[in-house]
Amino acid sequence: MRMFYARRRAAALGAVTAVVSALTLLNGPAAQASPPTPVSGATARTYLSELTVKAEGSSDGYSRDLFPHWITQSGACNTREVVLKRDGTNVTQDSSCAATSGSWYSEYDGATWSAAADVDIDHVVPLSEAWKSGANAWTTAQRQGFANDLTRPQLIAVTDNVNQSKGDQDPAKWMPSRAAYKCTYVRMWVQVKHYYNLTVDSAEKSALTSYLSGC
């Protein structure tokens, strides 16, 4: 009798596992970038109102080398490799932590890539933009923290040439072409600027205000 109930219990557990697996396949997330979820639209609007509006500073003295990246995060893995693993699907890495296979969905343009070489890790608030918004006064350690921030929504894996076309432009001059991501993008931008106490220029604030009105 005990064996009978044990078999029934095992069969029931197996059925539950099968149902959960099926639901996961049906409802699980598609391959997509997944930086930390930004603050809500309402919070972003509050944060934006608290940012100092100031003319954009000079790029004099700026160098990417002043924002050390990509630093080691764990074992052999640097920040880029951590984000590639986080934002990809079925990503495999070799003993050096380099991604050898996987799939990456670029939220900015909706493209999917199967080679890590086709993917860049974008700094949502670009390093040069940060420099001109107050980071020129930071220590190197502070700039390193900013350039490798995995806690805020500051890093995201996207199509390489899209990242390159963005350059150091703010939302008054550049936005993701994928309309469905624009609200998320501006919430990310404002959260990062607010956390790091960076300034916004008037055109930037106007653009952010407009985009956030629909979030």
pLDDT at 16: 33
For 191-211, write each residue's pLDDT tens digit.
999 999 999 999 999 999 999
Q: Which residues of the chain have pLDDT under 70?
A: 1-33
Residue 167 zone, left/alpha/beta (φ > 0; ψ -120 to 50; rest): left
Residue 131: cis peptide before it, omega within 30 degrees of 0:
no
Q: What is the DSSP track for 134-181? A: TGGGS-HHHHHHHHT-SSSTTEEEEEHHHHHHHTT--TTT---S-GGG
pTM assigned to the model: 0.84
pLDDT at 190: 98
Tokens of 119: 């993917």
Beta carbons of 120 and 107 less than 8 angstroms apart: no
CA distance 158 to 152: 17
pLDDT at 34: 82
pLDDT at 195: 98
Tokens of 185: 């993008």
